[in-house]
Amino acid sequence: MKKNVVLGLFALLFAFASCSFTESKDFETDNKDKLLIDLITYVLEKGHYSPKALDDAFSIEIYERFIDGLDPLKRYFLEEDLKRFEAYRLDIDDQLKNKELEFFDLVHQTLVKRIEEAKATYKGVLADPIKFKSKEIEVDYETLVYVSTKKELEERWLDQLSLNLLPAYESKLEQLAREQSVEKEELDKKFLKEAEEEARQELVKTLDEYYTFIDELDRDDYFASFLGAVAETFDPHTSYMAPSDKDRFDISMSGKFEGIGARLQKKPEGTTIVEVISGGPVWRGKLLEVGDQILKVRQEDGDAVDISGMPLDDAILLIKGPKGTNVFLTVKRVTGVVEEVAVVRDVVELEESYAKSTTIVDESQKFGLINLPKFYVDFEDYSNRNAATDIKLEIERLKEENVEGIILDLRDNGGGSLQTVVDMAGYFIEEGPVVQVKASGNRKEVQEDNDPSVLYDGPLVILVNELSASASEILAAAMQDYKRAIILGSSSTYGKGTVQNVIPLSNIIRSNDLGDLGALKLTTQKFYRITGESTQLKGVSSDIVMPDRYAYVDVGERDQDNPLAWDRIQAANFTTWEKQIDFERVISNSNERLKTNEYVSLLEEEAQWIKQQRDDHTATLGIEEYRKEKEELRERTERFKKLNDYDSKLSFSSLKYEEALFTKDSVLREKRNRWHKELAHDLYVEEAINVLKDLKQFTYNRNTVKG
């Protein structure tokens, strides 16, 4: 199980919404902690889509989530601590009902004590040289058991710190070897000692800085984590946001912030990239990708700080910073390669999160591609710029170019506004249902396109991957159910079929002298396809499956800790697309092409290799073994670089209105040129073009007899 107290925020389908509750309630206001417990349990029970009973099973889940979240590396608590905690394992639900804090207070007091002991432990472990003995250790921390003695705990610290030291030690040896113009193996012993000493002292300094951050946490911070554990037991997207978290959430929803342009999530293995934000520095420089882990953070004028085990909020504080400043991130790639990446912080460019299009020429045929990074909207005023109106404009522009088919690229699109999805679907079909939305109980709403006109009736391919989520899945599902488009991409999309509302807790009580109480992000609804099937967990299965490097990486809803279940409801009434497509022949032709494509085979091999690396939960502490593994990683990575050399030979061009802008905006020209180069190396785009050709050939009007 993936039990984390603090989770990164996913894109929401709606921003702020009020929740109505069927009964009034008076809340105790003389004690902030007790008031928060009362408020949160009340809102969860009355407002959650699928509320859980506050019983012993619920108590066990909170217990495990809270303890594991506080000590994910199992290097604070001892077995004796767990025995004392266990006494409350079945009582947390009762304590919540009675607004009691005995369990929390015991854990908090014990943790503070163990953290103080940890400071002495790491200083003692790093006081003497590390010998890097040939030893294999377990790095799947979820499976580790708590040790019973402080001696065993010291050994665990030694193993984990030795593992942290290895890359730094090897890097310093390489630097010294270059300076001495010799191979690493030829270095004099004094240089080996010097490299080890420098690496060890840097780690001491990093840990000192880390525990300075820890010392700044107070009881309220830990209590917020406890409340988060309570909320997250309902589902992965329900969470408590303390006032400071709420402020950060507001900023993220506005889309304007200064940083690296990536969304982070705390996982057992470390701080992980879960989304690269379009227009940000990371996106522009292609510096990081989903699944990469950030191990250390270094400022321009400081040493690297190890953020393993650091609370997510503290890690983010280190990473973000003013526009124009540099931050240096030590990253473990999804391939296993560890390297330092320099990022110049900047304001995320909103323009790059908007829809854009290009024409594609293959021999004498012209096609169009529209890229939509998210389903954006101004929640205060829908008449302002939004994804639906922009897509309509791009379709009209492509029609003026006389394209013979359109590709809609929803890869990495994490969702957004539901209304824009409904409007957008209407451009491709006659009037009819698009999505079913169900609240708790039996309340169901069918959202429909009521416009009988069709903006575009030509061949359509929708590109998706494992990171296409929420609103992306609704649009893809609707087009698939209407038999309007071919879905091409990963075996299935993300599988997020739920809607969240944000409830400011201070708004629920009549009078409040205790200040801002934060907010609860609450799952209140589920999505269903017009066929009645939920997109939850299963996502949308592609008609044509192509491998990608995320194929075996745990990034989907099904890989979360406690997601809501898949189910189905009654289908809506709808009629499939008026033109009949020979899907079987189109899909068969594509599969035959893919079988003989060496690059597709290489991509599948890379995905399998990445899975193999991620499934290996052991690490070596021996320097020779480490070097051997590092060389093997390098060789295998070199093999897959061939994928970057792929050239589809397709020709990409900006539309006329953009060409006119280039004379005044050289930056826009550079962005589009880079985008076109990326598309030229894109296997999925090339196959989508082939599918469009087949769709054009094997599509029939209903009154036409197939030959």
Among 537, 410, 435, 420, smallest CA distance to 485 is for 410
pLDDT on residue 3: 32
257-347 and 352-497+534-595+647-701 have identical folds: no
Tokens at 244, concatenated: 């400071």
pLDDT on residue 245: 65
Distance, in Å, from the CA atom of 109 to the CA atom of 79, rounded to the nearest integer, reads 16
Among 698, 687, 699, smallest CA distance to 461 is for 687
Q: Which secondary-structure segment (H or E) carries 409?
A: strand 406-409
Three-state secondary structure string covering 633-680: HHHHHHHHHHHHHCCCCCEEECCHHHHHHHCCCHHHHHHHHHHHHHHH
Distance, in Å, from the CA atom of 503 to the CA atom of 523, rounded to the nearest integer, reads 11
pLDDT on residue 53: 94
Among 690, 483, 661, smallest CA distance to 600 is for 690
pLDDT on residue 424: 97
Tokens at 314, concatenated: 């503290």
pLDDT on residue 268: 61
| Helix ranges, 426-522 (H) | 471-481
Find the farthest-apart pair of alpha carbons in the chain and give their distance in angstroms, rounded: 86
CATH topology of domain 352-497+534-595+647-701: 2-enoyl-CoA Hydratase; Chain A, domain 1 (3.90.226)
Tokens at 63, concatenated: 């217990």
Distance, in Å, from the CA atom of 474 to the CA atom of 659, rounded to the nearest integer, reads 33
Question: Residues 71, 108: contact at Cβ < 8 Å?
Answer: no
Q: Order of strands, edge to edge, in the sheet holding 651-653?
A: 544-545, 486-489, 460-464, 406-409, 365-371, 356-362, 651-653
Among 252, 259, 248, smallest CA distance to 327 is for 259
Distance, in Å, from the CA atom of 707 to the CA atom of 653, rounded to the nearest integer, reads 36
360 CB neighbour count, 10 Å cutoff: 25
Tokens at 204, concatenated: 């001491």
Question: Residues 436, 446: contact at Cβ < 8 Å?
Answer: yes
693: helix, coil or strand? helix
684 CB neighbour count, 10 Å cutoff: 24
Distance, in Å, from the CA atom of 376 to the CA atom of 666, rounded to the nearest integer, reads 26
The residues, any chain, with a CB within 8 Å of residue 218's CB and separated by 6 or more, are none
Distance, in Å, from the CA atom of 643 to the CA atom of 335, rounded to the nearest integer, reads 14
Strand segments (E) across 320-428? 326-332, 338-344, 346-347, 356-362, 365-371, 406-409
Q: Count the residues in the chain.
A: 707
Distance, in Å, from the CA atom of 76 to the CA atom of 79, rounded to the nearest integer, reads 10
Amino acid at 267: K
- Mean pLDDT, contiguous 10-residue spans, the chain (707 residues): 29 38 62 92 94 95 96 96 97 96 97 97 95 89 94 96 92 88 83 91 89 87 95 94 64 56 77 79 86 91 83 82 90 88 79 86 95 83 81 97 97 90 96 94 88 96 95 97 97 94 85 79 95 97 92 85 94 93 95 95 91 88 90 87 88 93 82 92 96 93 46
pLDDT on residue 700: 80
End-to-end CA, the chain: 55
Tokens at 582, concatenated: 């020979």
Q: What is the CA angle 258-261-264, rounded to 5?
A: 110
pLDDT on residue 703: 47
Question: Residues 405, 367: contact at Cβ < 8 Å?
Answer: yes
CB-hemisphere CA count at 13 Å for 78?
14
Global confidence as pTM: 0.79
Tokens at 325, concatenated: 């400043």
| Helix ranges, 281-349 (H) | 281-285, 312-319
Tokens at 202, concatenated: 């840097």
Question: Residues 322, 226: contact at Cβ < 8 Å?
Answer: no
Question: Residues 165, 200: contact at Cβ < 8 Å?
Answer: yes
Distance, in Å, from the CA atom of 191 to the CA atom of 173, rounded to the nearest integer, reads 8
Among 165, 118, 160, smallest CA distance to 137 is for 160
Is 257-347 assigned to CATH 2.30.42.10?
Answer: yes
Question: Residues 553, 269: contact at Cβ < 8 Å?
Answer: no
pLDDT on residue 257: 61
pLDDT on residue 4: 31
DSSP tally for the chain: helices H, then strands E: 20, 24
Can you give the residue ranges of every domain in the chain?
Answer: 52-232, 257-347, 352-497+534-595+647-701
Phi-psi region of 74 (alpha: psi -120 to 50; beta: other; left: phi over 0): left
Radius of gyration of the chain (CA): 27
**Which residue is associated with the tokens 């006032």?**
243
Q: What are phi and psi for residue 575, nearest 5 degrees?
A: -120, 130
Q: Is 94 exposed, middle or buried (0-12, 13-18, 19+ CB in 10 A)?
A: middle
